[in-house]
Chains A and B, each alone.
Chain A
Amino acid sequence: MKQSFDVLMVGVGGQGIILASNIVGEACLAEGRSVKGAETHGMAQRGGSVEGHIRIDGKYGPLIPPGSARLIIAFDMLEALRYAHFLAPDGTIVSNCHFLVPPAVFMQGGAVPDRADIQKRLEAWSLCLVDADSLASEAGSPLSQNVVMLGAASWFMPLRSESLLGAIERLVPQKTVEINRVAFDLGRKAGSSCREGKGKA
């Protein structure tokens, strides 16, 4: 039996995980593949930690068993670390190189997480860091970060980039299609250097 290729998307509520997971789902359908997914809805999204499970070629349940995701796409670097235990030993983490400090840190006077420290801990896994914030701005809208990340991660998914682009064109608001197309390309370029083993993009 063909195993599913499990992709976990993580981030902070409001970063566009639901749209990104819909894009991957649509791309699967375009390739005639089965797909299952699950995501955080409702109040948990209000600035909370959110996760989207997508099982490409999935035929059964929507939840990825911890330790078996082939790919983690993290829209926030701290969240990448929070969910890193979902990764399979041969999996890859494609992460934004920025993170939001959880508001509770300031409220409770805890230590603000250190960027270099998070990166060092993430490097225990196969890691591809992408400056999604800058690339999204370059594409024309900070809101296109999710599509930048999909572009970067597209190297590591068993889906054709045309399928992903087609899904993007169908799913994003009509007036933002061009921005998102650029965002995907910029992300894809950034991701290619990781794939070539040059480390950080």
Chain B
Amino acid sequence: MKTQYLLGNEAIAHGCLEAPVDFVTGYPGTPSSEVIDILRALPDRDFYIEWSVNEKVALENALGAAWCGLRALCTMKHVGLNVAADPLMTSAYTGVTGGLVVMSADDPFAHSSQNEQDSRCYAHFARVPCLDPSSIQEAHDMVRDAFALSEEFSLPVIFRPTTRICHSKGDTVTGTPVPSTRKGHFVKDPRQYVVVPAHTRVLHRKLNEKQLAIGKALVEKGYNSATVRGPVAVIASGIAATYVQEVLPPSVSFIKIGAYPIDEEWLEKLVSRHEKVLVIEELFPVVEEAVRQVAGCVPVSGKKDGTVPTEGELSTAAVSRIMESFGIAPTQSFPAVQPVADLPPRAPVLCAGCMHRPVFYAMRRVFRDGIYPSDIGCYTLGLQLGAVDTTICMGAAVTVASGISHSGEERDIVATIGDSTFLHSGITGLLNAVYNGARMVLIILDNRITAMTGHQPNPGSGVTASGLASPPVSLEAICRACGVSWVETVDPYDLVSLTATLKAAKDLPGVKVVIARQPCVIMARRAGLRRGTYTVDPEACTGCGVCIGFGCPAIEKSDEKALITDLCSGCGVCAQICPAGAIRRGGKK
């Protein structure tokens, strides 16, 4: 046992080592990615690990391993669970032999996500247990024990930390990693693993029969607990429970929910001992609905009566105010303070030298009247450059583009998608678009890596999660195999040829694919690539502002002239767009 200052995801990774885990899969997604990144970086790893191509693939792989008796972990962000929902729902019927833990990290306030969905709803939907940690220590302990819980009930377990668990830090007591020594062995049992109707009807009944025992066990194991102290109770789950504990007065009862399903009999008894209860949780009112079902005539406050906000994330300050409005005096109150007004916002931007920027620049010039469906990755920041008209979910740039093309819309449709996102779920959309005769230009922004989530390798990168070489997949060959007859690859730093390629694509019928390829500028720098940087000749600069409009963070304006700062990475695109020829090579190396 030792105490370390750990990131939530580090603590989770450590808990898995203590279980121990034998098999790890996942697809990167904030805030879940560091778990696999930490596990795959371990020098003496004795378990299998992979970055899978998408979450469905990841979960099915983990399920296969768990059916062979291994302890398997599958990580993803909450929206990844949508992709993996198909195997999840039926894996509850088939069950598992080895423990299977599905970590689905939720993101209240959508810090880096397209929505604020709640993975606990999936657990309820699939009827599998769900663990909901309230702190980093609890996340560590819960995931360590989750594999055994999964084995006890022969069910996958959903583990759902939130952003403020995954990406917060704290002093954490960890145990000793245990070597992974299990070897998979598949025992044939078609009645369990082949879900034809005759089998699945039986499996469904067995799944339902497990539920009561699970709820009781989660109370016995201490995941759901209560301290009755007075006529009023606060019921809280996840990190909201920690916020509540910081300001809860000693006269108020506290019921803490850390796992689902909640034992209704236990909950009913507790609620009935109070005159009124307040339920505080983030995201969907999962606990509140359970409480309302058993509360009888005890009044319940929460999201449904407007006491607790239904969107965004909570905090100690927010919880303190919620208690005050409900009629509990918190031990600390935090008067609302206003930030200083009128400061220029500092939003994240594409890096200096990012390959996406010249693609967006050229795209907007060639297709001035175009419609620009896009996708999920760093390039979503192209929104600031007027180059992103739609983003909904992974792979949808291609499918939304084909939908628009069949709708009767006559303008040019130019979709952009990253390499990893294309491999995740863009390929089927492309196949469909060609098959059904859509009209679009698809630009694959191929920076050879899954950049946004922290540079995880993908099948195009030439390396696996464990660092083994693997042949980089050919995006050109994939597109041709999908039936695209016109596929061109360009260097996005070469603005002339990029522009000419886009112009050529514009005049052709059907689906055209342009692959713009340059390594992510951060990866290139880490690999030691140094290009000569650029500088502005102040004599030649006319102050026209064209380079400023390009939006590179290395270009500033000083005394009505452009100025290139030391953020310059030497892509050289600004020198190609400067109408006065005032930008030249020759800055500092």
Contacts and interface: CB of A to CB of B under 8 A. Distances in A.
Given A26-B5, A66-B317, A60 B346 contact: no
Contact of A42 (B31, B171, B320): B31
Contacts of A29: 3-5, 171
B436 interface: no
A81 B346 CA distance: 13
A61 B346 contact: no
Contact of B351 (A25, A40, A46): A46
Interface stretch (A30-38, A157-165, A172-180, A190-198): A30-38
Contacts of B344: 78, 101-102, 104-105, 110, 113
A146 interface: no
Interface stretch (B411-419, B531-539, B553-561): B553-561
Interface string B339-375: 1100111111111000000000000000000000000
Contacts of B407: none
Contact of B339 (A22, A43, A82, A107): A82
Contacts of B316: 60-61, 63, 65
A21 B31 CA distance: 19
A21 B551 CA distance: 31
B180 interface: no
A39 interface: yes
Given A13-B348, A60-B246, A85 B340 contact: yes
Interface in A12-55: 12-13, 21-22, 25-26, 28-29, 34-49, 53
A149 to B, nearest CB: 18
Contacts of B4: 29
A36 B169 contact: yes
Nearest to A103: B553
Interface stretch (B143-151, B217-225, B237-245, B470-478): B237-245
B320 to A, nearest CB: 8
Contact of A106 (B171, B345, B348, B548): B548
A107 B548 contact: yes
A58 B168 CA distance: 12
A49 B5 contact: no
Q: Considering residues A12, A41, A101, which has the most beta carbons from chain B within 10 angstroms of its beta carbon?
A: A41
Interface stretch (B40-48, B61-69, B285-293, B330-338): B330-338
Nearest to A142: B566
A60 B242 contact: yes
A41 B31 contact: yes
A199 interface: no
Contacts of A53: 168
A166 interface: no
Given A26-B5, A44-B112, A46-B350, A81 B343 contact: yes
A85 B3 CA distance: 33
Contacts of A104: 344-347, 349, 384
A56 to B, nearest CB: 11
A46 B344 CA distance: 17
Interface string B150-171: 0000000000000010011111
Nearest to B378: A43
A120 B344 CA distance: 17
B30 interface: yes
B111 A44 contact: yes
Contacts of B552: 103
Contact of A43 (B30, B168, B551): B30
B518 interface: no
Nearest to B166: A41
A68 interface: yes
A73 B97 CA distance: 51
A2 interface: no
A44 B453 CA distance: 10
A181 B246 CA distance: 37
Q: Considering residues B4, B348, B381, which has the most beta carbons from chain A within 10 angstroms of its beta carbon?
A: B348
Contacts of A113: 343-344
Contacts of A13: 348
Given A43-B452, A67-B337, A48 B347 contact: yes
B528 interface: no
A71 interface: no
A193 B381 CA distance: 43
B454 interface: yes
Interface string A68-111: 10000000001101111110000000000000011111110010
A66 B337 contact: yes
A62 B346 contact: no
Contacts of A36: 168-171
B315 interface: yes
Contacts of B111: 42, 44
B164 A61 contact: yes
A45 B348 contact: yes
Contact of A48 (B169, B337, B348, B378): B348
A85 B164 contact: no
B169 A61 contact: no
Interface in B405-464: 452-454
Contacts of A12: 346
Given A29-B3, A43-B452, A46-B381, A106 B557 contact: yes
A83 B553 CA distance: 22
Nearest to B567: A47
A19 to B, nearest CB: 12
B14 to A, nearest CB: 15
A22 B337 CA distance: 28
Given A29-B171, A48-B349, A67 B242 contact: no
Contacts of B557: 106, 112
Contacts of A65: 315-317, 320, 334
Nearest to A44: B348
Nearest to B2: A29
Given A44-B112, A67-B335, A110-B344, A35 B171 contact: yes
B338 A85 contact: yes
Nearest to B243: A61
5 contacts: A26-B5, A48-B348, A60-B242, A60-B246, A67-B335
Q: Which 3 A-B pairs have the closest CB atoms?
A: A48-B348, A62-B168, A25-B5
Given A13-B348, A83-B339, 15 more contacts: A29-B3, A38-B169, A39-B167, A42-B452, A43-B381, A49-B347, A79-B346, A82-B346, A84-B339, A101-B556, A104-B347, A104-B384, A106-B548, A107-B384, A110-B344
